[in-house]
Structure 1
Amino acid sequence: MVDVELAEVADFLAGHAPFEALPGTVLRDLPARMTSRYHRRSTRLMTVGVDNNDLIVVRSGAIEIRDADGDLVSRGGEGTTAGSTTLVGTNPSRFDVVAIEDTLVLLLPRGVFHELSAAHPDFADHFDAERADRLRMAASSVATNAAGQAILRSSGRDLIRQAPIVTVPIDATISEAATVMTTQDSSSVLVLDGKRVAGILTDRDLRRRVVARDIDLHGPVAPVMTPDPVVAPAETAAVELLLTMVERHVHHLPLVEDGQPIGVVTSTDLMRLERVNAVHIVGDITQQRDVAGVVEMAGRVPRLVEQLVEQDVGAHDITRIVTSVGDAVERQLIALAQDELREDHGPPPRYCWMVLGSRARHEQALGSDQDHAVILADDAPDGAEEYIAALADRVVEGLEAAGYPRCEGDVMATNPRWRQRLRGWRREFRQWIHEPVPDAVLGASIFFDSRPLHGDEALHDRLAEDIATWVPQGRKFLAHLTKEALAHEPPLGFFRGFVLARAGENRATLDLKRGGVGAIVDLARVHALGAGLVSVNTRARLLAAGRVGAIDADTAASLVDALEFISHVRLAHQARQAAAGTWPDSRLRPSDLTAFEQRSLREAFHVVRGAQQTLSQRNPTQYYT
């Protein structure tokens, strides 16, 4: 290029991101390191499967980018770039780039691209953001059905639009309430105190609290209604309504707007909407009177997951549903075990049964093993330990029969280490945090992902409050925890090819858990604990850490998208295994993935690797052993 043309190119670049952020001296010298090329309309600039070694910058005209399946990725005119993924990742190209008008492009060689990326972070960040946008689109696309509508995203308002609200005043009689329900052909009636929902009366309430007890029908409705019921805003998404019903064990959920009721959503409404039967499964589990019945109900979970995956429900919501069913299974097994022990041991001592790991985070998938522990009250009577041991034996056996394998690391309440009085737990945690060794770090990190499931939740709350005050003081402990978080590298090679197992029964497979889901969980835990955040769920931890600046907000959002996509691929794989009658795991062969899934997994793993590198640079761990 002649000097005049070089000056014009520099002016052009100065008007477009990311070149506009480059220093003036760099920008003035850059055109001499680039070449120009003219392409007629319909000319292919890049081809799927063919190496590309230049960043393409459109100076005039327009291009479109399509993936290997022919789906449109983007279109752009002046200033549009293409080819960055082949420069920072793998060759050959994963995209077709075609001129849709007569087009003049500038070509920036690979070496110059890397030189600029290394010397100017804003330049590199621009292309990282492009990849993050593609990952976000991928995460979103797996939660959308073939018609392009988000599954279970209808609002509660949509579900009740055709049904009139059925109410009676607080001073109504039982007979008057039943008459209104019959006249309106409704399975429930809201009881109002003025405009406020004071209670709800359902068909089940009438059977169990009125008919079965021979209550006078002319008496007031208030004593037999469910007071202060769970309510939800009218615009709540159907999937959130479903999860609320499952987690709170209700079949009728009043919807409110500006504090006033506008209708009631029932479990039947949701079943009709999406054929999701999680509410019914949980309800059936709570009705079982022996372990065999609970085991039979738990056997429905794989088919439930298969249905949810087929309907493209998001991974975040699927794991919450699976967790809620798992909670119901474990609670019912505890209740049955307590009934069995009551004859010989009397009532149970004061204790709290906790779930740990993925269940505590509401992130349980298929094939998850057991992780639980017990806090026994300090004032529990002598012999309470023997009771808890007997209880744990029965619950663990029941869970194993229901499809939840025993923990290989023995992190279960059957292990005396994982059932202690409160003072014993407090003593152990003080030592873990202030004198950390690898085993202590593992034990503490497991407990940080804990949630009370049954019993006296105040015991868990007291221990959690103590730990929250100790952790910020344990800088060495946090350093060890950081080191553990960096140990699980994503299965991605230097040139962004997948790293597969080389030997054994898992040969040539990709592990989606260890360096994928697990790595993100570890990163979220470190950032949350370091910032003193109390969230347990990984998604909530990342977003909260991003809000307080413990992690870059864009990085947090990208990790959330990466978690969603990797988890969805994992769940789809597990659903296929369950349908085929094989035990679900987190290992699959890349050949079983579509081109879209392979491409997006690479992007997701790249995000994880970048977040680990940033954490490593911010918190060096090489001095801790």
Structure 2
Amino acid sequence: MSLTQDQIIRFLRSVHPYDALPPEVLADIAVRAETRICAAAEAIYRFGEALPGLFVIHDGSVDVVDENGAVVSHLGLRNSFGERGLLRDGKAATSATATAETTLLMLPAKLIADLQRDHAGVARFFNRARQDRAPRNDLATSPIETLMARDPATCAPDLPVQHAARLMRDRRISSLCVVEDGLLRGIVTIRDLSGKVVGEDLPGTTPVADVMTAEPLTLPPSAIGSDVLHMMMEHRIGHVPITEAGRLAGIVTQTDLTRFQAVSSAELVTALARADTAEEMATVTAEIPRLLVQLVAGGNRHDVVTRLITDIADTATRRLLALAEAELGPPPVPYLWLACGSQGRQEQAGVSDQDNCLMLDDSATEADLVYFAALAKIVCDGLNTCGYVYCPGEMMATNPRWCQPVRVWRGYFAGWIAKPNPEAQMLASVMFDLRPIGGDFDLFRDIQAETLRAASANSIFVAHMVSNALKHSVPLGLFRGLATIRSGEHRDTVDMKHNGVVPVVDLGRLHALRAQLTPVNTRARLDAAERSGALSPSGARDLRDAYDLIADSRLEHQAAQVKAGVAPDNFLSPSRLSDFERSHLRDAFVVIKTMQSAIGHGKGMLG
């Protein structure tokens, strides 16, 4: 039995993003929507069919499978499917089957297009990759929570002014927020103490309430940087408490604004290039978390953020190489320092260890190796001091295995390709992400081209690399949600690195290998794969969109941790996300799983 228009309207009021639409728009949707009743095991649509629009489950359940029959989602009440993000060239990239008697609401494609055109909230919902998110002016348009100091120092109204002065002196701050019964009552600053207490010769026992600014100007957490700037300029104040329902959430001072503006990748690169010791450099790299927060708050996409952060690591590496040469003397033969892993791909985020190696000119002797072992130790120790901790797998130039002449490196790659055992697969995956950092770049150019040619021509090696690329599964749960870690320190979270970013990194590397593409950065690899024809335009678009959403979400999680005073990690709790965010994150994982399945069945991603 078809749903009535009243039933459709009531239902849509419980489904995002339609719940925010005005009554007249919901009434129009109810007129244009279609009801479809499906029996258990009935096919809703099949792979390759053109879809009439978007399906929303009113009741019942649906399984969505890829072209190879692998289940990518179990869906239920209020879940939607069939949206454009899961289509290839206008055709369905999945099949959907009712697993119980199911009532579906079908919203025609024209209706969805009209809603996106006329309602920004709906457009944002369907713009999963946020490709139109433009970087904003860093300070003026940054959210207030990015600027403010959390947990500001507070005192009671009856605190003697002498005690207040000592507290500000000891904590090296310029103000105290006066709080009573959990509510902000006023603010006392150093200017108040000097002008009102010292200037008027008040006793040290005078309560703070007598000299504070009562009911100070405040802003809510929803404010942006320009609100603070304008308030400070108009009222000639240097402190703005941030409150919500009268309760103190933070404070922004002129010092906070100055500090915020002072952090930029260019400033950090300049400071690193002038540092004389690893310890001096460490004071610079300690600013990276705050830079991460600023870049994310500024609306920059993940590949811009990670590129800027990686540039800092590159500069630190080159400066340490220069300091090592100054200490040890000129190198006896040409050498090249290379980074692999996230630094090699220019994808460093808030959590990074070091992965590096040395290639030496073939004229290097055993005696020369002693020099380069010392150079490697200085650089790797210095990177560790700067916060790029030692690689737990010893994938570093301090390991003699990874400090060798070019001829030995050629032998390594040839051996891994000829005998792709598990260790060879792992090492090849790491070493295909090599990027020169400092030294003689000519030592690497021929090796990269030779290795790509040999690897792509060896079908057995490619097959093993395909298998290796499928080892990291995406965290899709059986019933609509996300599969979280079940036990241990990170219970009930999703590993956004190994189960989110890494699967796309693996797919990008695989396509670069197959098509002999030289880019190392993952997004650049996907772009190059599309240009070369290794990826269809729709396959590349879907994978890029999914990657962008996941990588952006990972960085936003890390930035939020930094702001909260917590060391950043890769473990995101889905419970902290809105239904909107969880829905799109799940869709992104579905795209990746579909791509993995296609690769695993030897069908590629050509659409």
Name the counterpart of 2:299: 312
Following the alignment from structure 1 to structure 2, what is the Cα–Cα distance between the partners of residues 119 and 398? 54
For the pair 1:537 / 2:537, whether they are aligned, the reply is no
Q: Which amino acid aligns with 2:46?
A: A
Alpha-carbon separation, structure 2, partners of 1:465 and 1:145? 36
TM-score for both structures, normalised by structure 1: 0.63
Q: Which residue of 2 aligns with 1:267?
A: none
Tell me if structure 1 keeps the 8 A contact 2:139–2:260.
no
Partner residue in 2 for 1:322: 309
Shift in CA distance, 142/408, structure 1 to aligned 2, threshold 3 Å: farther
Q: 1:119 to 1:357 in 2, by over 3 A?
A: closer
On the 8 A contact 1:516/1:566 being kept in 2, the answer is yes
Give the structure 1 partner of residue 93 of structure 2: none
**1:326-384 per-position Cα deviation (integer Å, ceiling 9, x unaligned):** 11111111111221112xxx544211000101111111111111010111110124412
1:508 aligns to what SS in structure 2?
coil
Show the counterpart of 1:607. Answer: 591
Q: State the secondary structure of the residue aligned to 2:387.
A: coil
Taking the aligned partners of 2:426 and 2:387, their CA distance within structure 1 comes to 25
Partners of 2:289 and 2:260 lie apart in 1 by 20
Distance 1:276 1:554, change over 3 A: farther
**Counterparts of 1:148 and 1:338, CA distance in 2:** 38
Secondary structure in structure 1 of the residue aligned to 2:45 = helix
Equivalent residue in structure 2 for 1:441, among 425, 430, 453:
425
Distance in 2 between residues matched to 1:119 and 1:461, nearest whole Å: 43
Amino acid at match of 1:307: Q
Query: Relative to 1, partners in 2 of residues 1:409 and 1:106: Cα closer, same or farther, differing over 3 Å?
Result: same
Structure 1: how far apart are the matches of 2:509 and 2:140?
30
Maintained 8 Å contact 1:276/1:308 = no
**Alpha-carbon distance in 1 for matches of 2:53, 2:511:** 21
Alignment of 1:392-471 (within 5 A): 392-471=376-455
Verify: 1:388 aligned to 2:342, yes or no. Answer: no
Structure 2 partner of 1:301 = 288
Whole-Å separation in 1 of the counterparts to 2:536 and 2:467: 20
The structure-2 alpha-carbon separation of the partners of 1:499 and 1:110, relative to structure 1 and needing over 3 Å to count, comes to farther
Is residue 117 of structure 2 the alignment partner of residue 117 of structure 1? Answer: no
Q: Structure 1's 111 and 323: CA in aligned 2 closer, same or farther, altered over 3 A? A: farther
- C-alpha separation between the residues in 2 aligned to 1:478 and 1:430? 14
| Matched residue type, 1:429 | F
Matched-pair contact (CA < 8 Å) for 2:2–2:36: no
Q: Give distance in 2, aligned partners of 1:424 and 1:130.
A: 49
Aligned counterparts of 2:393 and 2:549: Cα–Cα separation in 1: 28
CA distance in 2, matches of 1:564, 1:355: 23
> Counterpart of 1:100?
28
Q: Select which of 331, 335, 339 maps to 2:326.
A: 339
Which one-letter code corresponds to 1:46 in the other structure? L
For 2:599, what is the secondary structure of its paired residue? helix
User: Residues 46, 357 of structure 1: CA spacing in aligned structure 2 closer, same or farther, 3 A cutoff?
Assistant: same
Cα distance between partner residues in 1 of 2:391 and 2:526: 27
For the structure 1 residues 111 and 336, does the alpha-carbon distance in structure 2 shift closer, same or farther, using more than 3 Å as the test? farther
Counterpart residue identity of residue 310, structure 2: T
Judged with a 3 Å threshold, the aligned counterparts in structure 2 of structure 1 residues 536 and 129 are, in CA distance, closer, same or farther, namely farther
Q: Secondary structure at the match of 1:527?
A: helix
Distance in 2 of aligned mates of 1:569 and 1:434: 39
Question: TM-score, normalising length from structure 2?
Answer: 0.65
- Structure 1 residues 110 and 499: alpha-carbon distance in aligned structure 2, compared to 1, 3 A threshold: farther
Q: Deviations over 1:213-249 (max 9, x none)?
A: xxxxxxxxxxxxxxxxxxxxxxxxxxxxxxxxxxxxx
Residue identity over aligned pairs, in percent, reads 35
Structure 1's 347 and 373: CA in aligned 2 closer, same or farther, altered over 3 A? closer
Alpha-carbon offset, residue 149 of structure 1:
14
Structure 1 residue 587: Cα displacement:
0.4
SS in 2 for 1:514: helix
Corresponding residue for 2:129? 139
Shift of 1:392: 1.1
Inter-CA distance 563–103: structure 2 relative to 1 (3 Å threshold): same
Q: Does the 8 Å CA contact 1:41/1:103 hold for their aligned counterparts?
A: no
C-alpha RMSD of the superposition: 3.3
2:559 equivalent among 575, 583, 595: 575
SS of equivalent residue, structure 1 residue 331: helix
Pick from 43, 51, 76 the counterpart of residue 9 of structure 2: 43
Distance in 1, matches of 2:319 and 2:34, equals 67
**CA separation in 1, counterparts of 2:265 and 2:358?**
27
Between the aligned partners of 2:8 and 2:290, the Cα distance in structure 1 is: 48
In structure 2, the CA distance between the partners of 1:41 and 1:442, relative to structure 1 (3 Å rule), is closer
Measure, in 2, the Cα distance between the counterparts of 1:149 and 1:560: 29
Q: Tell me the CA shift for residue 479 of structure 1.
A: 0.7
The verdict on how the C-alpha distance between 1:558 and 1:282 changes in structure 2, with shifts beyond 3 A counting, is same
d(CA) in 1 for partners of 2:563, 2:468: 35
- 13, 17, 27: which is aligned to 1:66? 17
Counterparts in 2 of 1:461 and 1:151: CA distance versus 1, 3 Å:
farther
Which aligned segments of 4 or more residues in structure 1 are displaced greater than 6 angstroms? 133-136, 145-152, 271-275
Amino acid at match of 2:128: A
Write out aligned runs for 1:160-559 (5 A). 277-342=264-329, 346-559=330-543
SS of the residue 1:611 aligns to: helix
Once the two structures are TM-superposed, the CA of residue 539 in structure 1 deviates from its matched residue by: 0.8
CA distance in 1 between partners of 2:459 and 2:317 (Å): 36
- Aligned residues of 1:520 and 1:563 also touching (Cα < 8 A): yes
Q: Does structure 1 conserve the Cα–Cα contact (< 8 Å) formed by 2:138 and 2:298?
A: no
> Which position in structure 2 is the counterpart of 1:232?
none
SS at match of 2:129: helix
- Structure 2 CA distance for partners of 1:359 and 1:114, relative to 1, 3 Å: farther
Deviations 1:509-553 (A, max 9, x none): 111011210000001111121112112111111122123332232
Q: Which has the higher contact order (CA 8 A, sep 6+)?
A: 2
Point out the more displaced range, 350-359 or 375-384. 375-384
Q: Tell me the CA shift for residue 37 of structure 1.
A: 4.0
Q: Deviations over 1:561-611 (max 9, x none)?
A: 122121111112212323344332100211222333222211111111111
Superposed CA deviations along residues 150-190 of structure 1, whole A, max 9, x for unmatched, are 999xxxxxxxxxxxxxxxxxxxxxxxxxxxxxxxxxxxxxx
